Structure 1
Amino acid sequence: MAQYDWADTGAGARTSAIDEGLRAHMNKVYATMSIGMVITAAAAWAIAGLATTTDPSAAVSMMRNGTMLTDLGALIYGSPLRYVIMFAPLAFVFGLSAMINRMSAATAQLVFYAFAAVMGLSLSSIFLVYTGASIVQIFLITAIAFASLSLWGYTTKKDLSGWGTFLMMGVVGLVVAMIVNIFLQSPAIMFAISGIGVLIFAGLTAYDTQKIKTDYIAHAAHGDSEWLAKSAIMGALNLYLDFINMFIFLLQLFGNRE
């Protein structure tokens, strides 16, 4: 009987240790993601401010909506460099995913923050298209929706692993539709893409949160602190992308244009 009690106590202690470790792991994921979001927002706001002007004498060109651009604005919004800026975040994502096993956790974290800054550069154009109040409002709506979905993904007993393939197929379909619509320029198709995009990335928010949790539980017993640190960074990257994409699609649906 005494042996049974001791064994039960040991199992309970191990379970408690895993629970405590999981909470710390998730806190690190959310903290890393949040820092990335702050870097992105600050970079986007600062670059948009430097790229535009209200002084006609300082403007070198003008957008179709009447926004006056500085030399920097003309370079990043009106030259072929804009295509490099558009696809640079994608290159960072693929690069970090492919090379993280050869990086230290500290290096991977720095690369993630560099990616967040480049994403801010890429997103700075939204300040030229949408009103500031609209951007803030949609951001807050996205934050509330993201927090709710992520909490549900963390706490639900439902196995969401089967969602992964379906949702990734949806992402591929979205990308194809967006490329096609570059040539068609159809508002109806763009509206449909935005609506479907919100649903897909809402699902990915819950799915990715549960996957971060299950991956930690599966590997916690091995005690590989370096792997767990890198896993937290990749988890932060996935949730960051879910948030950003949901925000962009909601902004396209409900944002007030300048």
Structure 2
Amino acid sequence: MQEPRNLVNTEVGLSTFMTRMYGFMGYAVALSALIAYLSGVVFRAQMMPILSGHPFIFIIVLIGLLVFSGTASRKALQNAKTGFLMLTLFALFFGLEFSVIFLTFNLPTIASAFIAAAITFVSMSVIGATTHKDMTRIGNQLFAAFIALFVVMIINIFLRSAVIDYLFSFIGVIIFAGLSMTDTNKMKAIYLQYGDRVSMNGLATQGALQLYVDFLNLFQFLLQIFGGFGSRD
């Protein structure tokens, strides 16, 4: 009778972990959306000159935050409160970063891209959570593809080819839809292997941070596709 009981405990623990991870991620997305709306719509007159006038500062800070995210993930396992604070700071920063989309895209376009991103993310994440296959290899390949895409996109900043940007947006959607699946699968596997040896809140925060980044990138690429790199017209 001990084995079925252990199985039940594992399933309950996994369900609690996944719910908590998605909850933390949802909190971060909601906070970013609120900050973006307040900065880009409600306080637009005050914020837009600052946000749109110094784009390179945001790029530098963004790269720094992404580099530091690895350290933040490890810190989350050591101290759940520190990890949650870092997740909150990420959400606040990306909310400010994304507020500039209100200068380029209208609300229906933004809403459509957000809904599409949410549906895509949930669908792929559910696949990653329910499959019994180890997706580590696929995840590594997708991450390598992202690095290559990132490098080429940096080069295209100087080439300024809208066609290349538009094409890369479709590639980006494929990559981050896949990463939403593989990262969910990875966090499930980590919990099943180490869940009884680490803080559940810390591990859930680590997973939420990764899935949050996946979702935002997915949304960004879908927004560029839906908007066609056009204006607010």
- Same fold by TM-score greater than 0.5: yes
Q: Report what 2:210 is aligned to.
A: 238
1:84 has 2:57 as partner: yes
Q: Deviations over 1:45-101 (max 9, x none)?
A: 11112553xxxxxxxxxxxxxxxxx353222211x3x32223424423332421554
Q: Structure 1 residues 24, 90: closer, same or farther in 2, change over 3 A?
A: farther
Q: Aligned partners of 1:109, 1:152: CA distance in 2, in Å?
A: 26
By how many angstroms is 1:177 displaced?
Answer: 1.1
Percent identity, aligned pairs only?
32
Aligned residue among 89, 112, 116 for 2:91: 116
Q: Report what 1:130 is aligned to.
A: 105
Q: Report what 1:94 is aligned to.
A: 67
Q: Aligned partners of 2:28, 2:21: CA distance in 1, in Å?
A: 11
Instruction: Point out where structure 1 has 5 or more consecutive residues left out of the alignment.
Output: 1-8, 53-69
* Superposition CA RMSD, Å: 1.7
1:257 has 2:222 as partner: no
Aligned AA (2:124)? L
Q: Report what 1:214 is aligned to.
A: 189
Q: Deviations over 1:141-170 (max 9, x none)?
A: 111111111111111233312112211111
By how many angstroms is 1:224 displaced?
Answer: 2.6
How high is the TM-score relative to the length of structure 2?
A: 0.92
Q: For 1:141-156, list aligned pairs within 5 A.
A: 141-156=116-131
Q: Where is the helix percentage greater, Structure 1 or Structure 2?
A: 2
Give the number of aligned pairs. Answer: 228
Aligned AA (1:252)? Q
Aligned residue among 160, 171, 174 for 2:149: 174
1:38 has 2:30 as partner: yes
Runs of 4+ with >6 A deviation: none
Q: Report what 2:161 is aligned to.
A: 186
Q: Deviations over 1:164-216 (max 9, x none)?
A: 22111111111111111101111121111101000000110110111111110
Q: Deviations over 1:105-153 (max 9, x none)?
A: 1111011111101000011111110010110111111111111111111
Q: Report what 1:229 is aligned to.
A: 201
Q: Does the CA-based 8 Å contact 1:48-1:127 persist in structure 2?
A: yes
How high is the TM-score relative to the length of structure 1?
A: 0.83
Instruction: Point out where structure 2 has 5 or more consecutive residues left out of the alignment.
Output: none
1:195 has 2:187 as partner: no
Q: Does the CA-based 8 Å contact 2:136-2:182 persist in structure 1?
A: yes
Q: For 1:9-20, list aligned pairs within 5 A.
A: 9-20=1-12
Q: Aligned partners of 1:176, 1:207: CA distance in 2, in Å?
A: 22
Determine helix, strand or coil for the equivalent of 1:162: helix
Q: Structure 1 residues 96, 187: closer, same or farther in 2, change over 3 A?
A: closer
Aligned AA (2:128)? G
Q: Aligned partners of 2:154, 2:186: CA distance in 1, in Å?
A: 30
Q: Aligned partners of 1:10, 1:71: CA distance in 2, in Å?
A: 63
Q: Structure 1 residues 193, 100: closer, same or farther in 2, change over 3 A?
A: closer
Q: Aligned partners of 1:183, 1:85: CA distance in 2, in Å?
A: 18
Q: Structure 1 residues 11, 252: closer, same or farther in 2, change over 3 A?
A: same
